[in-house]
Structure 1
Amino acid sequence: MNFFLNQGMGHGNSGVEHAQFYRAQCFLDRQLPFKIIFTDLLQDLHVHMREWHLPENQVIGLYDFLLATNPFDYLDNGLPAEEVQKSHEKILIDQTDTQRIITTQSSGNYQIRRLRDKIFSTEKNIYIVDDAHVFLTKGDHQVEWSYRQGPGEKVMQDIHLTNFLGEDYYFFTFDELVTFFLNQLAAHFGQNTYFVDRGTFYDETLVRQKAAGSTQKIVGMVHANHKVSEENGRILFNNFYQYTLDHLDQYDAVVVATKAQKAALKADLQGHTAEKNLDKIYAIPVGGVTHLGQAKTRKNQKLNLVTASRLHEEKHIDQIIDAVQVLVERGQDVNLTIYGAGAEDQKLAQQIKDLGLTNRVVLAGLSQHMTKDLQRHDVFVSASYSEGFGLTYLEALGQGLPVASYANNFGAKELIHPGENGYLADFSTSDANRKSNVDQLADAILSCFQDYDRLSAGAIASCQPFLTENVADQWVKLEEELS
């Protein structure tokens, strides 16, 4: 079995989840078996699975498994349809109007009971209310644990698993529980390949087992820039990938999304790992297109722009809005539709209002039909400083939209060919150069409307290597080399 290891998913997802969904489609097309694994406590998991069209037999939730009457039937088939429901909760408050007990009936048909502590923080000078003890119950099956405050975050401890196949278990840490879980997967499915998409605890457990003689295959998935900085000749790797890159002897493969990142990673690893480990690095796109749209023609002088991403600070959507303002000041008739959700939603709404752009810029929320929605626009815009691949770039290009983007490493530079399917804007990560960044992004946007019809045709042509059938062949080749 092939396992895609992750922590959680929801109504809105990051590029990591979308990369998993796309890989799942490639595996389905080539009849390669797979399961997507989530280990977070997700009360709405099954609702969100339906929202993203993930069948029950493609997903394994850790707590669904631990609480199942027949855990191994659940591993094979998922949750029975009649057990899936919308979650609902009841909150008990104390005399100070503080939430003390939250009881939730999850979408997986088990009860979640959270007991909460109210503790005064001298550092923040406020009372903090947070979970102290959690009980999960389904019939006569139960999982419970408490929390202790670790460095920067709370940590699960004292985990009790009751009546798992008639036995009771105790785990001091979450890592011990994960080890138990992975052992159960190995016992049921036999020889497996684990694609570690998110969760360094997976890496540590699997590497420890591999060093002890396990024959299971481990594939490290690199979804972002692997390097943070370089100081005094020493490379500081991204914390998400540091453990992987330090233990490459125990990995069977590492997959990056672009050829450029493969070359950069191999160069950065020179002297950091054994030479033989450099041959374990593969470049396979984390996204692609199933069907290509039609090249577009420009019908009027309006600049009809679109962007789509999580509304988080690192995506710099605010700079795209500022670029719209620059274009308005230059006398352009421009509008922008922003698809996505996230923590920056209200901040961006206020920015749009303050700049007087409410009739030009729309926060359209999440799209479940991105391909169709993109077709209504002319140019896709991105202001991200870093993209491991850029799934939305590819979705836009596949529908004939030229792309204007900051010239970020790997994603933009791999997919956008200036003058052929879009334009790139130079940028600086320094806040002092923000205005210059925005001006150059505005220039790139305008360039996309010059000789627009040719750029749109170029966008379609540039997607040929990323057709799903071509990407699926690369996953098959990797599978063959790992077997």
Structure 2
Amino acid sequence: MSQGRDIFFVSNSVDEIGGVTTWSHQMARLLTDRGHRVHLVGICPVEENIRQSFSAELPYATTTLYDERPPSPRTLRGIKGKLNAPERRRQAARRAGMLEQAEKLSALFREAAPGAVVICTQVWAMEWVALADTKGLTVIGMSHESYEASHKSSRAARVRRHYKDVDRLLVLTPEDADLWIRSGMDNVGSMPNPLPFMPDAPAPREAKVVASVGRLAFEKGVDLLLDAWSETAPLHPDWTLRIYGAGPEEASLRAYCTSLGLDDSVEWMGSTGDVLGALRGASVFAQASRAEGFPITLLEAMAAGVAPVAFDCAPGVREIVSHGEDGLLSRLGNTVELAGHLSRLMSDKELRDRMGDTAFRDVKRYSSAEITDRWEELFSFLQR
């Protein structure tokens, strides 16, 4: 094995609940295991209610630049904006604070050995990386959402602005990379997420349970899943929908569940630290997201050998699931179609076992070893 590199992951935070944070810590651990010196850097801390807990003794360093979240930028428009002295002072103080924190990044980067890599996992964090001294380092920017999702927000414009000069912009699928390239970005490649686990055998699939795992937030579409379940549940009175997760929509989703008359067939399980255990207690997996990047929960379900039913909401979903072979995909928002796919798997044990076994085999292409190999190959390629 070649001598390890200094690798910096720079994110909005090091401990916010969410997929990017979980991914960052997973990759940090995988690369540390390969002999690299990894440092996770967060721009600012997060509130207690959205903070993930991690072991106090991580095998890699973590740093948070700010003690509290910095003020948000505002655009000074026209003569009135230019004459707004308090706002101009606030903006100047924000800029000075950014430069001060960027100097902390520069100090970390200057201590790195030749061949060091900076991986900016979120475009907001890139505003600080861009102010830091990265001379002699390879800088990789990332977007953990689909091209379409980026363009439904202000993030697409920021990706173009802040990532245009990085050594590589990585998105989650070749399809998304092609869209960015066609739109004028010439430094784009793709890198999928790795599997968090790879069990030795698929789940037993004996329980009459459909599992859903994810944050209870609008984009995850749990309301749409409940709509589909209201069509499916009367046909399968001996089946249960278990919803694992917590989030801002929980109270309204529970109320909606009650209004649909589903309380007898839906179990709210809360967050779980044992996703594999949750999936091994199910026979079908359901995902009704409105938007996704490269959904880790789909990978997890397939790694557990549980056939997924999902909305085809992003290239990442199509990349992971081969419709009709290792899962079933529905058109985005079509809850009748989603209900039909759920019912088909719930009615046919042979079909769900066959698809679950195929999923278990197919998903091995995203094993942590395979994806870590790809990262190391990219580091070597970009260093040339």
Scaled to the shorter chain, the TM-score interval is: 0.7 to 0.9
TM-score w.r.t. structure 2 length? 0.83
CA distance in structure 2 between the partners assigned to 1:321 and 1:177 by the alignment: 48
Aligned match for 1:196, one of 120, 124, 138: 120
Residue 159 of structure 2 is aligned to residue 252 of structure 1: no
Q: Alignment RMSD, CA only?
A: 3.2
- Distance change (3 Å), C-alpha of 1:149 and 1:199: closer
How far did residue 208 of structure 1 move? 5.3
CA contact (8 A) 1:448 1:455 kept: no
CA distance in 2, matches of 1:479, 1:59: 21
Question: Residues 285 and 364 (structure 1 numbering): CA distance in 2 closer, same or farther, change over 3 Å?
Answer: same
- Measured in 1, the distance between the counterparts of 2:174 and 2:111 equals 36
How far residue 347 of structure 1 moved from its aligned partner, in angstroms, is 0.6
Of residues 343, 360, 364 in structure 2, which corresponds to 1:464? 364
The residue type paired with residue 479 of structure 1 is F
> For 1:176, which of 85, 88, 99 is the aligned residue?
99
Matching residue's letter, 1:387: E
In structure 2, the residue matched to 1:122 is: none
For structure 2, which runs of at least 5 residues remain unmatched after alignment?
1-5, 77-86
Counterpart for residue 35 of structure 1? 39
1:416 is the counterpart of 2:321: yes
Q: Of residues 173, 188, 192 in structure 2, which corresponds to 1:285?
A: 192
Partner of residue 441, structure 1: 338
Match of 2:80 in 1: none
Normalized per residue, which structure has more strand? 1
Using CA pairs below 8 Å that are at least 6 residues apart, which structure has the higher relative contact order? 2
Q: Give the corresponding residue for 2:3.
A: none
Amino acid at match of 2:368: T
* SS of equivalent to 1:469: helix
Q: Deviations over 1:216-240 (max 9, x none)?
A: 32211110012359xxxxxx57532
Going from structure 1 to structure 2, the CA distance change for 1:25 and 1:453 (only over 3 Å counts) comes to same
Secondary structure of the residue aligned to 1:250 is: coil
The answer to which structure has the higher helix fraction is 2
- Judge conservation of contact 2:29–2:59 (CA < 8 Å) in 1: no
Closer, same or farther in 2 for the Cα pair 1:381/1:266, shift >3 Å?
Answer: same
* Structure 1 position 413, deviation (Å): 0.7
> Shift in Å at residue 364 of structure 1?
1.2
Alpha carbons of 1:407 and 1:205: their partners in 2 closer, same or farther (altered >3 Å)? same
Q: Spell out the pairing of 1:361-440 with structure 2 (5 A cutoff).
A: 361-428=266-333, 437-440=334-337
Q: Is 1:321 paired with 2:226?
A: yes
How far is 1:342 from its partner? 0.8
TM-score by length of 1: 0.67
Matched, 1:349 2:249: no
Q: Following TM superposition, by how much is the alpha carbon of 1:427 offset from its aligned partner in structure 2, in angstroms?
A: 2.6
CA distance in 1, matches of 2:338, 2:127: 42
Change (3 A) 1:29 1:290: farther
Code of the aligned partner of 1:475: W
| Residues 318 and 293 of structure 1, relative CA distance in 2, 3 Å threshold | farther
Please name the residue that 2:28 is paired with: 24
- Aligned partner of 1:479 in structure 2 is 379
Q: Deviations over 1:318-364 (max 9, x none)?
A: 11112111112335432111111110010111112222322221221
Moved more, 248-257 or 379-388: 248-257
**Residue type at the aligned position of 1:440:** E
Identity of aligned residues (%): 20
Q: Which residue of 2 aligns with 1:4?
A: 9
Compared CA separation, residues 293 and 241, structure 1 to 2 (3 A): farther
Instruction: Note the alpha carbon deviations across 1:61-113, whole angstroms, 9 max, x for none.
Output: 2247xxxxxxxxxxxxxxxxxxxxxxxxxxxxxxxxxxxxxxxxxxxxxxxxx
User: Per-residue CA shift, 1:23-55, capped at 9, x if unaligned?
Assistant: 22321232222111112234769x84435x761
Largest Rg, 1 or 2:
1
What is the match of residue 64 of structure 2? 61
The residue that corresponds to 1:127 in the other structure is none
Superposed displacement of residue 455, structure 1: 0.8
C-alpha displacement of 1:151: 6.2
2:235 counterpart of 1:338:
no
Q: How far apart, in 1, do the equivalents of 2:238 and 2:120 lie? A: 46
Residues 292 and 316 in structure 2, CA contact (< 8 A), matched pair in contact too: yes
In the TM superposition, residue 149 of structure 1 has moved relative to its aligned partner by: 8.6
Q: In structure 2, give the amino acid aligned to 1:469.
A: A
Listed as ranges, the gaps of 5+ residues in structure 1 are 65-133, 135-144, 160-169, 230-235, 429-436
Match of 1:264 among 179, 187, 198: 179
User: Following superposition of structure 1 onto structure 2, how do residues 71-86 of structure 1 map, counting pairs within 5 Å?
Assistant: none
Q: 1:15 maps to which residue?
A: 19
Shift of 1:199: 4.5
1:147 and 1:156 in contact (8 A); partners too: no
* Alignment check: 8 A CA contact 2:206 2:282 kept: no
Deviations, residues 216-265 of structure 1 (Å, cap 9, x unaligned): 32211110012359xxxxxx575324333345552101112223322333
